[in-house]
Structure 1
């Protein structure tokens, strides 16, 4: 009899709870938490969304911008094309808002998405951005490394460019920093070469930046872009520009002791 009474009481309370607003509140809280986690994961530096944006931008770009559109009009066309793609796919509005903000930072009318970007110019802007710190610390030159990668029998050449404003401490007994520990990097698939503009170089190679790191983080759409050299790096990663390898690490210094 006691067992039946407990069963009846439990059934009564379950029925009353199910008819209250509390289950609906719990479901709503769970859905909200789920969507927050999905959006946060989409914007993490290791997420796939940055790669999807890159492919969408590539699909929207003409082969040679300067021959087709004036830059400002071209930027608007790219942004509109991306917006239409996302709206057609019913992408969550929070993601669209963040993506548009990030793309606007790259396509902001400074002429950074062009046919090509000079590595020498990019690194010169990088050096200029850190000259004050270099003067304080008495740095002679930044740490810049350009290394050839393994083609794994494909016949395709890869170059890996690592750079950091702080030079390698060659005087101390500390071990040399690993490439991955330098703050910034660009990884380039070489697509061709041509006669160099500077007479002391035989030729300049050029290619596509397929991966990049800025301030120890993979370049992503939710990243803050502050300086010209950062915008150049972002435009290489997201856009249709090519990187021209037109310098060697020894060509660059802070110029404090010249």
Structure 2
């Protein structure tokens, strides 16, 4: 029987253990577990990293996006703006590739030009409201241009002409701000951009449809609304190539 004491036994085993690879393995495992816990905690929704990722995703989304599937189906230009913001926010890899492919497929039949003709936009607006015009016997829409002394123009328009509006209970003329739709465009007064026909080309800085500013729960349904969205989100510029009295519903022509 050995005369080795418990103290001697423990000392020998500690010395043997410390000389082996086991302490390093245990330390490595503990360090790995510690880092896993720290990273998991950081990526939880309430952690700093989780919050940062959440904020990054929110900042990449246009303000009027509430339904991504509705967006890709009906709101072409906002989808394009979303794609651009995704790319600029650093979203990478297969997710971005698949998102771009899906949006490209959804939008392939709805190309937005670099320049939007105001005449084309208002003609589309007139065409969309012809049935109501025929029902109410409207001859033309109400369209008003107001130029700015600082460079630019405000374009106000409404399906109902002022004469018809005042035939009812209304005795006062509607102000421009009472009309349903508005586009505000600016250009450099000292060095304006002109097209080949000398028409001003401007940037839309504000837009309103049905008295709702774009960006506040706004649903795009028609081609003329898409064109306004393209202008507002900076994907196109507006060419002022018409006058306010150029448009008619054609009911009495």
TM score, norm. by length of structure 1 = 0.56
Tell me the alpha carbon deviations over residues 118-147 of structure 1, each in whole angstroms, 9 at most, x when there is no partner: 000000000110000000000000000111
SS in 2 for 1:249: coil
Structure 2 equivalent of residue 134 of structure 1 = 133
SS in 1 for 2:245: helix
1:188 aligns with 2:185: yes
Asked whether the 8 Å contact 2:155–2:183 carries over to 1, the reply is yes
SS in 1 for 2:163: coil
Structure whose CA Rg is larger: 2
Tell me the alpha carbon deviations over residues 60-102 of structure 1, each in whole angstroms, 9 at most, x when there is no partner: xxxxxxxxxxxx9xx99864442244576xxxxxxxxxxx9xx
Asked whether the 8 Å contact 2:185–2:206 carries over to 1, the reply is yes
1:169 aligns with 2:166: no
CA–CA distance in 1 between the matches of 2:80 and 2:155? Answer: 32
1:195/1:114 CA distance change after superposition, 3 Å: closer
Which residue among 82, 86, 89 is the counterpart of 2:85? 82
Structure 1 equivalent of residue 215 of structure 2 = 220
Cα distance, 1:222 vs structure 2: 3.7
Asked whether the 8 Å contact 1:144–1:163 carries over to 2, the reply is yes
Cα distance, 1:238 vs structure 2: 0.9
Cα distance, 1:169 vs structure 2: 2.0
CA RMSD across the alignment? 3.9
CA–CA distance in 1 between the matches of 2:161 and 2:213? Answer: 22
Tell me the alpha carbon deviations over residues 23-50 of structure 1, each in whole angstroms, 9 at most, x when there is no partner: xxxxxxxxxxxxxxxx9xx9xxxxxx64
1:139/1:244 CA distance change after superposition, 3 Å: same
Structure 2 equivalent of residue 3 of structure 1 = none
Structure 1 residue runs of 5 or longer lacking an equivalent are 1-38, 43-48, 54-71, 89-99, 152-156, 197-202
Asked whether the 8 Å contact 1:112–1:231 carries over to 2, the reply is no
Task: Spell out the pairing of 1:1-258 with structure 2 (5 A cutoff).
Answer: 50=63, 79-86=82-89, 108-151=107-150, 157-169=151-163, 172=167, 174-190=171-187, 191-196=192-197, 203-220=198-215, 222-258=217-253
CA–CA distance in 1 between the matches of 2:135 and 2:209? Answer: 23
Count how many residue pairs are aligned between Structure 1 and Structure 2: 172
1:214/1:131 CA distance change after superposition, 3 Å: same
Asked whether the 8 Å contact 1:113–1:239 carries over to 2, the reply is no
CA–CA distance in 2 between the matches of 1:223 and 1:79? Answer: 15
Asked whether the 8 Å contact 2:81–2:233 carries over to 1, the reply is no
